[in-house]
Amino acid sequence: MSQKKQLALIISALAAMPSAQAMTDAEMEARFKKYEEKIEALQAEVKELKANGGVVYVEDIDKQTRHNAKQIADIQHKMDAEAEKLKINGFMTAAVSDGDDPIEAAHDIMDNPNFRGDAKAGLQFNYKLGENSQAVLQLVARSHGNESWETNAEWAYIDYGMSENLHARMGRLRIPMYLFSESIDVGYTYPWTRPPLEVYQTILTSYEGADLLYSFNTGSVNHTLQPFVGSSLNNENIDQQYDTFPVFEGVPGAYPPVRARLKMDLKDLYGISLNSTWGNWTTKVTAMHLGIDGSLVLLDGLPLPPPLPAVAAGEVITEVSDNLQYYAIGGMYDNGSLLAMAEVANLRSSDYTFMGDGVSGHLTGGYRLGRWMPYATYAWAQSYNDFNDLYQMMGAVPNRNMKSVTLGVRRELTNQLSAKLEWVNYFDLENNGNLESGATSFAGALGDDANVYTLSLDAVF
């Protein structure tokens, strides 16, 4: 075959190559390599033609070579630009816990080794929409001892930067109630295997709404002011402690037990939070109002003796509402070696149908010794209102006072993986403290104290 025909076939083959934009990264790399090999072959052919005086096709070949090289550069540039826009991060907790008695409080701690109660995994996607704007999605899958994992969007919002110091966010957001509200699911960010239940165990962590983040300084102190407003409709609180309630214990041989589920509409949510940092110090102050409408829905039929009519499963047996005021203050000192934290939260109820007035808090200290950090926590919860049995059946939480002492040690295995070994002793329990789910679970099954032992692995990637 003549050299001219060979060159024509080479140019035709290059022109017929498929677009690289639809290929995978591996296929793209392989295709780039082939392009480069073809370009090198063409350049060698050009040199041979020049040496033999064949100059008729040299300019065409050089032009095709430059075109292919530019295509490769353009595709690589687009890929790099897209990679800069999208950031993906993840986190995971694998843990095993064991307790003296079963404890259902959100983590489903059993009286035998349980690998599911604290297990969770999450992915966060940040996509840059412009110079000052982004879309954020965080998906978290938890087990909490259930038969199957449940995946929820804890964050799903659009962040628009109106100026360098002012950002507006709208969508599904975290309520800024605690020092670790933004990372409450990311076990790697805090010292414990799980945050103190007295303070961090709530009926709500995320909501649908909007907030503003305004950053400013007062001298050397940096502040972020965060007003927020929103709601969370038809939240059945499947993963929270206020979930399924025994309405009727049953009569052996006559009537089976009857359960009900509390469905809650969380509305009129608004508040403000102020975060401040100064050197090694961090503080957080939050004030919040929350309105609650709820209904108690039967999961089982309620057989009533004649002449009373039977009540079928799915029927609403009562409806209640309440207005809550929540105030919290927290502080943390961390100089890289010494860690000290304190948080106190105060809850006030207007109608006492879901929960009563109470105060809770914790004191935590730890000290890093190389990759090791022993830590200790003292926590408490004190409620002030008694409820009658009817209110408790409807969802009200009776006095559930409790205290706890936590001793643990954290070991940094890598820069992205930590191991924690922890013992918690809950004591001075009244009505099982906050450790039993269901408003009527106040028979004192846990006694005066309970112990929980946990080993966890927390990773970020």
Q: With a cut of 70, say whether residue 435 has pLDDT above it.
A: no
Please tell me the distance from the alpha carbon of residue 431 to that of residue 437, in angstroms, as a whole number. Answer: 11
Tell me what pLDDT residue 236 has.
Answer: 47
Sequence spans of domains, the chain: 3-81, 100-460
- pLDDT tens, residue by residue, 102-127: 775 556 677 788 888 889 999 999 99
How confident is the model over 265-291, as a mean pLDDT? 93
Q: Which residue, chain included where needed, has tokens 């799915």?
A: 314
**In contact, 367 and 374? CB cutoff 8 Å:** yes
Please tell me the distance from the alpha carbon of residue 313 to that of residue 302, in angstroms, as a whole number. Answer: 7
How confident is the model over 418-439, as a mean pLDDT? 75
Q: With a cut of 50, say whether residue 349 has pLDDT above it.
A: yes
Tell me what pLDDT residue 231 has.
Answer: 84
- pLDDT tens, residue by residue, 376-401: 999 999 887 655 444 554 445 556 68
**In contact, 223 and 275? CB cutoff 8 Å:** yes
CATH of domain 100-460: 2.40.160.10
Q: With a cut of 60, say whether residue 1 has pLDDT above it.
A: no
Give the tokens for residue 444: 């004192």
Tell me what pLDDT residue 142 has.
Answer: 85
- pLDDT tens, residue by residue, 142-185: 876 556 688 888 999 999 999 999 999 999 999 999 999 999 99
pTM of the model: 0.74
pLDDT: which is higher, 444 or 414: 414
Q: With a cut of 80, say whether residue 259 has pLDDT above it.
A: no
How confident is the model over 74-81, as a mean pLDDT? 70
**In contact, 333 and 280? CB cutoff 8 Å:** yes
Please tell me the distance from the alpha carbon of residue 264 to that of residue 396, in angstroms, as a whole number. Answer: 13
pLDDT: which is higher, 187 or 26: 187
